[in-house]
Amino acid sequence: MYSSRRNRRHLRRLHVKHTIPEPKDQRANRRRRGSRGGRPTGFDKGRYKRRDEVERAINRLKGFHAVAIRYDKRAYVFHGTVALAAIRLWLQT
Protein backbone atom coordinates (compact mmCIF):
# COMPACT_ATOMS: atom_id res chain seq x y z
CA MET A 1 0.00 0.00 0.00
CA TYR A 2 1.33 3.43 -0.94
CA SER A 3 0.37 5.04 2.34
CA SER A 4 1.97 2.45 4.62
CA ARG A 5 4.05 3.57 7.58
CA ARG A 6 7.14 2.14 5.93
CA ASN A 7 6.65 4.24 2.78
CA ARG A 8 5.95 7.38 4.78
CA ARG A 9 9.02 6.78 6.96
CA HIS A 10 11.15 6.33 3.82
CA LEU A 11 9.86 9.60 2.37
CA ARG A 12 10.57 11.43 5.64
CA ARG A 13 14.16 10.14 5.64
CA LEU A 14 14.61 11.53 2.13
CA HIS A 15 12.98 14.85 3.17
CA VAL A 16 10.27 14.37 0.53
CA LYS A 17 6.86 15.82 1.27
CA HIS A 18 4.32 13.14 0.51
CA THR A 19 1.04 13.64 -1.25
CA ILE A 20 -0.47 10.30 -0.35
CA PRO A 21 -3.99 10.49 1.09
CA GLU A 22 -4.68 8.24 4.05
CA PRO A 23 -7.41 5.66 3.27
CA LYS A 24 -10.55 5.69 5.41
CA ASP A 25 -9.86 2.29 6.96
CA GLN A 26 -6.39 3.38 8.09
CA ARG A 27 -7.80 6.59 9.56
CA ALA A 28 -10.41 4.58 11.47
CA ASN A 29 -7.78 2.15 12.78
CA ARG A 30 -5.55 4.99 13.93
CA ARG A 31 -8.46 6.68 15.73
CA ARG A 32 -9.50 3.38 17.30
CA ARG A 33 -6.02 2.89 18.76
CA GLY A 34 -6.17 6.29 20.42
CA SER A 35 -2.84 7.76 21.56
CA ARG A 36 -1.01 4.62 20.38
CA GLY A 37 -2.31 5.19 16.85
CA GLY A 38 0.12 8.03 16.16
CA ARG A 39 -0.51 11.48 14.85
CA PRO A 40 -2.70 12.12 11.81
CA THR A 41 -0.83 12.22 8.53
CA GLY A 42 -0.64 15.50 6.69
CA PHE A 43 -2.44 15.83 3.39
CA ASP A 44 -2.46 18.84 1.09
CA LYS A 45 -5.31 18.75 -1.45
CA GLY A 46 -3.67 21.37 -3.68
CA ARG A 47 -0.40 19.46 -3.86
CA TYR A 48 -2.28 16.23 -4.58
CA LYS A 49 -4.15 17.94 -7.42
CA ARG A 50 -0.87 19.18 -8.96
CA ARG A 51 0.62 15.68 -8.65
CA ASP A 52 -2.37 14.27 -10.50
CA GLU A 53 -1.96 16.84 -13.27
CA VAL A 54 1.71 15.92 -13.69
CA GLU A 55 0.92 12.20 -13.81
CA ARG A 56 -1.76 12.79 -16.45
CA ALA A 57 0.65 14.87 -18.55
CA ILE A 58 3.29 12.13 -18.38
CA ASN A 59 0.71 9.54 -19.41
CA ARG A 60 -0.31 11.71 -22.38
CA LEU A 61 3.36 11.99 -23.39
CA LYS A 62 3.65 8.22 -23.23
CA GLY A 63 0.94 8.09 -25.88
CA PHE A 64 3.71 8.96 -28.33
CA HIS A 65 5.38 5.69 -29.22
CA ALA A 66 8.90 7.13 -29.46
CA VAL A 67 8.62 8.57 -25.95
CA ALA A 68 7.14 5.43 -24.40
CA ILE A 69 9.62 3.01 -25.99
CA ARG A 70 12.63 5.36 -25.97
CA TYR A 71 14.28 4.35 -29.20
CA ASP A 72 16.81 7.17 -28.99
CA LYS A 73 20.27 6.17 -27.88
CA ARG A 74 21.45 9.59 -26.73
CA ALA A 75 19.81 11.64 -23.99
CA TYR A 76 19.76 14.91 -25.95
CA VAL A 77 17.88 13.25 -28.81
CA PHE A 78 15.36 11.77 -26.35
CA HIS A 79 14.88 15.18 -24.71
CA GLY A 80 14.18 16.63 -28.16
CA THR A 81 11.61 13.88 -28.79
CA VAL A 82 9.88 14.64 -25.49
CA ALA A 83 9.93 18.37 -26.24
CA LEU A 84 8.39 17.78 -29.67
CA ALA A 85 5.69 15.54 -28.18
CA ALA A 86 4.95 18.19 -25.52
CA ILE A 87 4.65 20.89 -28.18
CA ARG A 88 2.24 18.73 -30.19
CA LEU A 89 0.11 18.14 -27.07
CA TRP A 90 0.15 21.85 -26.28
CA LEU A 91 -0.96 22.75 -29.80
CA GLN A 92 -3.81 20.21 -29.69
CA THR A 93 -5.41 21.85 -26.65
- pLDDT tens track for 11-59: 889 988 777 777 888 788 888 888 777 777 777 888 888 888 999 999 9
pLDDT the model gives residue 87? 95
pLDDT tens by residue, 68-80: 888 888 999 999 9
Side chain identity, residue 52:
D
The residue segments making up the domain with residue 29 are 1-43
Q: Do 30 and 49 have their domain in common? A: no
pLDDT the model gives residue 27? 80
- Is 61 in contact with 67 (CB distance < 8 Å)? yes
Q: Do 88 and 62 have their domain in common? A: yes
Q: Do 55 and 66 have their domain in common? A: yes
Q: Do 79 and 49 have their domain in common? A: yes
Q: Do 14 and 56 have their domain in common? A: no
- Is 41 in contact with 62 (CB distance < 8 Å)? no
**CA dist., res. 93 & res. 91, Å (int):** 6
pLDDT the model gives residue 3? 67
